Structure 1
């Protein structure tokens, strides 16, 4: 009785199927029963019963199929006229949402003006990534010590390896402006009066020699690599920042060797700093680098070559400089130690 109660609701919902199933069982039983049970004409009676029951089963199956189709028709109509009909519209909206998401991501990337670098390792890695495959480099800063020691030699080396053109623009403080050099030296000493990574302290004489060395390095590398387009501008003002800008990124460093900022190409900050560096370079006093063929330098420049170079380009060395001072400038130009190593 319990089993009948549990199966009754199912049988009520599927009456035709239940009847067909019952008849199928009956037909199966009749088919295996002996003919003698149905009397003298048991064979004919058995055949008629099986045939009639089979027809009834087929009729019930057909009824069930028709009923299911009748039930599915509204659903199919709803799907066809509703969700499927709106599918192109929904896909179009999805594409719009995806486009909006990409636009929003680009806007957020642009709004993220700079990223702070908080260690020497991060700064060195950022410089290495900036140098990779770059075709141009712009620098503006104090005397360009790190530029001479690392940036310029490695950029030229990579360009030579790939046999490609390289454009470099350098802006440093004017070494002939003794008062400006003294201000820069005082500023650097006010931050730290101990020797820096090069083992030297900042004095007016050192500032002048570092700037002279940057000019000499530019001429030497220009003669050494034909595809190098290099320019040097001498600034009449000092800056507390150092800008390094390549094809892919901008790096702004300060006197703290563990702090810097970087911005990728294409961002608002990068583009505006690029414009600032271009305009600043145009306003600086230009060193006539086009005279590099008129004042040839040896692989190891002599004191006479260095002195003649600065005389010919209109940036003469102080008359108080001895041969030892000139040799020091040449060593700073071509063998400058990495101040952050």
Structure 2
């Protein structure tokens, strides 16, 4: 019997039979003490109650641990099944339309085992909230991440994308302050997150700034390609690895650095990166992004320039709403 099996057997014993046995013994002892032919020594009744309560609490803890173990294994199993079913479907239908409700799970399966991930989008909300954290869980491999976002220094570009996103919201849904500054904070938060994960995890992130936006968002890995739009009710388009569409988009995204500027991210040797992303402060974000530069074909300038000048950015909101959350 393996160590894991022994641990599960022990936790199962604590969570099931042992509390019942101890409770019955304690009850019998107290009945004998109250009504039986002899009395227990002074204080033994209290000690029995304390011992029984301790065992019940221990049993609750054991059952909780056992349930968490089963839940985690169940979740891992479901993920593996989804990946296998997805690969079967890829063989049957390598390029297909995906219903809106299935997009999120398919995107999640792209992250499993990925050594390289390419993203092109507007401000990187899903990338920041899910993709980067999931990719950073890899401890057995290095992960290369290429991120293509709108240029946060371009006010007109940020405003145009904010207007597009506001129109793309479902009927009756309202998002507060969907404006150029919100889009800019999103982008700056995504750039900081890329720098933090590169410094603190086995991830190498490359950030490219786009001069125009497309309604299409690209999520690409070795597991497949997903094209989506901002409208949450619209379907996506999936292409399996090996298809002409997947290969063509990968080639296009790899070539993006030749036509757009690249952000040079500072590392641990240059800036302070807290151990936990939840501990990042406004000053941490400001210091890292003020040290970041933008490299073009002929020059290298500061990231915090023009519309993104350091003095006009609300760093507290960037840290609170777009990095820690």
TM-score range, shorter chain: 0.5 to 0.7
For residues 262 and 237 of structure 1, the distance between their equivalents in structure 2, rounded to whole angstroms, comes to: 24
- Does 1:154 find its partner at 2:96? no
How does 1:32-47 map onto structure 2 within 5 Å?
Answer: none
SS at the partner of 2:272?
A: coil
**Moved segments of 4+, more than 4 Å:** 109-113, 193-197
2:283 alignment partner, one of 278, 281, 304:
304
Give the drift of 1:112: 5.8
Give the drift of 1:201: 4.4
- Does 1:119 find its partner at 2:100? yes
- Cα 1:124–1:278 change in 2 (3 A) is same
- Does 1:267 find its partner at 2:243? yes
Unmatched runs of 5 consecutive residues or more in structure 2: 1-89, 293-301
Give the drift of 1:276: 1.0
For residues 194 and 297 of structure 1, the distance between their equivalents in structure 2, rounded to whole angstroms, comes to: 41
2:309 alignment partner, one of 303, 306, 318:
318
Give the drift of 1:146: 0.3
1:177 alignment partner, one of 141, 147, 154:
154
Per the alignment, residue 254 of structure 2 pairs with 278
Unmatched runs of 5 consecutive residues or more in structure 1: 1-108, 337-341
Cα distance per residue 1:16-48 (max 9 Å; x no partner): xxxxxxxxxxxxxxxxxxxxxxxxxxxxxxxxx
- Cα 1:257–1:292 change in 2 (3 A) is farther
TM-score w.r.t. length of structure 2: 0.62
TM-score w.r.t. length of structure 1: 0.59
Per the alignment, residue 123 of structure 2 pairs with 143
Contact 2:168-2:231 within 8 A present in 1 as well: no
For residues 187 and 172 of structure 2, the distance between their equivalents in structure 1, rounded to whole angstroms, comes to: 18
Give the drift of 1:111: 11
SS at the partner of 2:113?
A: coil
Give the drift of 1:292: 4.7
For residues 296 and 150 of structure 1, the distance between their equivalents in structure 2, rounded to whole angstroms, comes to: 24
Q: RMSD value over aligned CA atoms?
A: 2.4
Give the drift of 1:295: 1.5
How does 1:1-341 map onto structure 2 within 5 Å?
Answer: 114-120=95-101, 122-157=102-137, 159-160=138-139, 163-192=140-169, 199-225=175-201, 227-258=202-233, 259-289=235-265, 291-298=267-274, 299=276, 300-313=279-292, 314-316=302-304, 317-321=308-312, 325-336=314-325
Q: How many residues align?
A: 220
Cα distance per residue 1:220-267 (max 9 Å; x no partner): 111211x21111111111111100001110011102223111111001
Structure possessing the higher radius of gyration over alpha carbons: 1
Give the drift of 1:194: 7.5
For residues 287 and 148 of structure 1, the distance between their equivalents in structure 2, rounded to whole angstroms, comes to: 17
Contact 1:175-1:181 within 8 A present in 2 as well: yes
Contact 2:280-2:324 within 8 A present in 1 as well: no
Give the drift of 1:302: 2.5
Moved more, 244-253 or 285-294: 285-294
Contact 2:282-2:318 within 8 A present in 1 as well: no
- Cα 1:326–1:334 change in 2 (3 A) is same
For residues 172 and 210 of structure 1, the distance between their equivalents in structure 2, rounded to whole angstroms, comes to: 10
Cα distance per residue 1:163-209 (max 9 Å; x no partner): 21111000000101111111111222233398969x53421111111
For residues 216 and 279 of structure 1, the distance between their equivalents in structure 2, rounded to whole angstroms, comes to: 23
SS at the partner of 1:215?
A: helix
